[in-house]
A and B are shown apart, each in its own frame.
Chain A
């Protein structure tokens, strides 16, 4: 077990206002971790902070928030700086924020494609670089980033989104190797289909998961420094098979 497993942690979450980030932040706040929330939309942030405070039973004002926009890399350093000051240090940085768009929409709109690739790959990497520097300066910590099973193989229905996530996954893997000895733990979360606002327009496949179940698995992985988490749990074996499918089979099945 990792050194950070004991005691409450000081956690920054980018993306805690919705979906899996919301569920994860609730779970961490409820067990006594100290949070600082990053995101866009002052009203959204304030509402999510109120929710976390009431659920955790802490007094109003004890959870801080800062504006941080994945479309604006210039906001990253300032937001993380504020978080670190308010928390008096930093143990865990979580990134759940990302953008999703349907393949058909992306193909007909180059601007949209550029936005998605920038947010889900380039800027997420820039944010991680900034977070990594800060964690390493303190002698280590945990960086937990949500990628996706969509990045495991090149797949027709998510060709572009999947490509961005594939890039992100490989980057995170390298980061883990590069800085492991220095005390940095990188946890890459690969959710399968999870029922959140992001996937609300899509028909849930079998094994679709709930954000709460993902949150439970991720908290455990953060505590242990597990480098790779499939969530919900059924996606581990499913992806085990899919990763091994020969290319001609991938081409045949519409998957």
Chain B
């Protein structure tokens, strides 16, 4: 141990487990460590290459040691913190005091900086928009070395490009966001078995008129009439009169100790998993009070669950299909996957509301579908086929999940890209700030 400065290159990877050689710079002092860096990353929960440095650089700032809370106003809920603070810590500190982030992704192991850069959305998108809608200010280090604040009023173009900008406009040092008051930390949940994908679309819409948080989980191995059967979950924080008096105890976690060999992710295990999940839900409809972690973060209960996908890793394909594509569009997308024999352990379907302020932000009014796809020899062709469909239907993909999209597909589905690039060019004419993903998709210098 202790032998000079990190001699030899190690590997860095996104959540999908596909690594590149490189190293992470870490420091409690984010301002100092970002001085010359080309990219920042947080907890690495983006699936693909958006948090990985370009090959010629091989170095990225890891923000997670910069995790201080700097200000909190009990009256307004306005909170300011360093970008490396995790949602996990935030929940542990604020839930018992009756505060929660207005928007949460499906895992707590993300940082504030990562939530802004991806402009994350959650089960509540139709009700509360993306995370960026609630962010009031950002402290940033931009490409020319300056440290400055941006907001709707101040450097508004930089602000809107940074929200959902995948770290490509500079390093986020501090985030100021308005937290949301909650009545209790318990969730009143209703869930029901749904027979097929068309039924899903209808029921998602219906539930979203009544409840702020909705999502569905789909079993992708059932074909034909029952294709897209699964479970729909919807809910909201429970009021004090129906919730238990005590604060919910932390749930136990287990750890996936090592990577499974890739053959275990074949059709049989996927089928078993999905069938079990479907029939766990015996009555067609259930109502009840559940733990907030069970509701928002079911996957967090198994640490390193991504190791389940084996040594070759996996990718997540997430797209949004606009309402204009019609109610049968999701079915047609799933048919492309199943007709190619693609197995997906996990398929999540969500409702999206209006577009947010982030220039490259992902959601648009319509239906979002996310598929976990274990990497195989034909993964590129599968993603191509899915992208061609999404492009035809006027949809788009979520950059924070992407690893296989081709630049021509991306450009065709992103009419907002020229605007984004124009703002980037203004703030970073030499194109210093970049990632493996921006090299692949935007044609940045390697």
B10 part of interface (Cβ distance < 8 Å): yes
Return chain B residues, CB-CB under 8 Å to A182. none
Contact B70 A103 (CB under 8 A): no
| Chain A, 88-115, CB within 8 A of any chain B CB | 102-104
> With A and B bound together, what is the CA distance between A193 and B25 in angstroms?
17
Assess A17 versus B28: contact at CB under 8 Å? Given A48-B68, A50-B71, A55-B69: yes
How many angstroms from the CA of A50 to the CA of B79 in the assembled complex?
12
Question: What are some 17 contacts across the A-B interface (CB < 8 A)?
Answer: A18-B28, A47-B68, A51-B68, A55-B69, A55-B93, A57-B97, A102-B5, A104-B4, A157-B2, A193-B1, A200-B26, A201-B6, A203-B6, A203-B7, A203-B8, A203-B10, A205-B1
- B76 close to A (CB within 8 Å): no
Q: Does B27 contact A (CB under 8 A)?
A: yes
- A200 / chain B contacts, CB cutoff of 8 Å: 25-27, 65
Q: Is the CB of B2 within 8 A of A54?
A: no
- Residue A165 at the chain B interface, CB threshold 8 Å: no
Contact (Cβ within 8 A) A197 B1: no
A14 lies within 8 A of chain B by Cβ? no
CA A103 to CA B25, docked complex, whole Å: 20
Do the beta carbons of B70 and A50 come within 8 Å of each other?
yes
State whether the Cβ of B56 lies closer than 8 Å to any Cβ in chain A. no
Asked if A197 and B4 sit within 8 Å, CB to CB, the answer is no
CA distance A19 to B10 in the complex (A): 23
Distance in Å from the Cβ of A109 to the closest Cβ of chain B? Answer: 14
Residue A189 lies at the interface, judged by CB distance under 8 Å to chain B: no
Q: Please give the distance in Å from A181's CB to the nearest CB on chain B.
A: 38
A22 adjacent to chain B (CB < 8 Å)? yes
Contacting residue for B3 out of A50, A54, A102, CB 8 A: A102
Contact present for B6 and A197 (CB under 8 Å): no
Q: Provided the pairs A197-B28, A200-B25, A205-B1 are in contact, do residues A51 and B69 lie with their beta carbons within 8 angstroms? A: yes
Residues of chain B lying within 8 A (CB to CB) of residue A51: 68-70
* Chain B residues with a Cβ closer than 8 Å to the other chain, count: 22
CB distance from B221 to the nearest CB of A (A): 39
Interface SS of B by simple majority = loop
The chain B residue sitting closest to A18, CB to CB, is B28
Is A158 close to B, CB under 8 A? yes
A196 interface contact, C-beta 8 A:
yes
* Interface range for A: 20 to 34
Query: Which A residues have a C-beta under 8 Å from some C-beta of B?
Result: 17-19, 22, 44, 47-48, 50-51, 54-55, 57, 102-104, 150, 157-158, 161, 193, 196-197, 200-203, 205
Instruction: Closest B residue to A254 by CB, please name it.
Output: B3
- Enumerate chain A residues within 8 angstroms of B25, measured Cβ to Cβ: 200
Query: Cβ of B69 and Cβ of A197 under 8 Å apart?
Result: no
Q: Are B69 and A50 in contact (CB under 8 A)?
A: yes
- List B residues 1-43 near A (Cβ within 8 Å): 1-8, 10, 25-29
Chain A proximity of B337: nearest CB distance (Å)? 39
User: Inside 8 A of B70's CB, which chain A residues have their CB?
Assistant: 47, 50-51, 54
Q: Identify which of B2, B7, B29, B68 gathers the most chain A CB atoms within 10 Å of its CB.
A: B2
Nearest A-chain residue to B69, judged by Cβ = A54
Q: A202: which B residues are within 8 A, CB to CB? A: 1-3, 5-6
Task: Indicate if the CB atoms of B69 and A102 lie closer than 8 Å.
Answer: no
Q: From B2, B8, B29, B93, give the contact of A158 (CB < 8 A).
A: B2
Q: Which residues of A contact B410 (CB under 8 A)?
A: none
The verdict on B72 contacting chain A, using a C-beta distance below 8 Å, is: yes
CA distance A18 to B3 in the complex (A): 22
Q: How far apart are the CA atoms of A103 and B29 in the complex, in Å?
A: 24
A50, B1: Cβ atoms closer than 8 Å: no
B29 neighbours in A (Cβ, 8 Å): 44, 197
- Give A239 Cβ to nearest chain B Cβ, in Å: 14
- In Å, the complex CA distance between A39 and B25 comes to 24
**A157-B1, A203-B10 given as contacts; is B68 within 8 A of A197 (CB)?**
no
CB distance from A49 to the nearest CB of B (A): 10
Q: Besides the contacts A22-B28, A103-B2, what 18 more A-B pairs have beta carbons closer than 8 Å?
A: A18-B28, A19-B28, A44-B29, A50-B68, A50-B69, A50-B70, A51-B68, A54-B72, A55-B93, A57-B97, A196-B28, A197-B29, A200-B65, A201-B5, A201-B6, A202-B2, A202-B6, A203-B6
| Distance of A213 from chain B, by nearest CB (Å) | 15
- CB contacts (< 8 Å) of A103 on chain B: these are 2-3
A51 to B70, CA, bound (A): 5
Task: Output the nearest chain B residue to A202 by Cβ-Cβ distance.
Answer: B2
Q: Which chain B residues lie closer than 8 Å to A193 at the CB level?
A: 1
Which B residues are CB-close (under 8 A) to A47? 68, 70
Q: How far is the CA of A22 from the CA of B68 in the complex (A)?
A: 10
Give the distance in Å from the alpha carbon of A2 to the alpha carbon of B22 in the complex: 49
Chain A contacts for B93, CB-based, 8 A:
54-55
B403 → chain A closest CB, angstroms: 26
**B24's closest neighbor in chain A, by CB?**
A200
Residue of A nearest to B65 (CB): A197
Please state if A196 and B2 are interface contacts (CB–CB under 8 Å).
no
Contact check, B2 vs A197: say whether CB atoms are below 8 A apart: no
Residues in B whose Cβ lies below 8 Å from that of A44: 29
State how many angstroms separate the Cβ of A96 from the closest Cβ of chain B. 13
Give the distance in Å from the alpha carbon of A22 to the alpha carbon of B85 in the complex. 14
Alpha-carbon separation in the docked complex, A22 to B28 (Å):
10
Residues of B within 8 A of A104 (CB): 3-4
B53 CB to nearest A CB, Å = 16
Q: Given the complex, which residues of B lie within 8 Å of A18, measured CB to CB?
A: 28, 65
- Alpha-carbon distance between A49 and B270 when the two chains are bound, in angstroms: 49
When chains A and B are docked, how far (Å) is the Cα of A47 from the Cα of B70?
6
Chain B residue nearest in CB terms to A255: B1
Residue of B3, B8, B69, B97 near A157 (CB, 8 A) is B3
Contact partners of B69 in chain A: CB under 8 A: 50-51, 54-55
Please name all residues of chain A whose beta carbon is closer than 8 Å to the beta carbon of B3 when the two chains form the complex. 102-104, 157, 202
Q: Sort A-B residue pairs by CB-CB distance and give the 8 closest, nearest first.
A: A51-B68, A200-B26, A54-B69, A201-B5, A197-B28, A18-B28, A157-B2, A54-B72
Which residue of the partner chain B has the closest CB to A204? Answer: B1
In contact, B68 and A102 (Cβ under 8 angstroms): no
Chain B residue numbers with a CB within 8 Å of A17 are 28
- Shortest distance from the beta carbon of A10 to any chain B beta carbon, whole Å: 23
Q: Report how far A167 CA is from B65 CA in the complex, Å.
A: 30
User: Nearest Cβ in chain B — how far from A34, in angstroms?
Assistant: 19
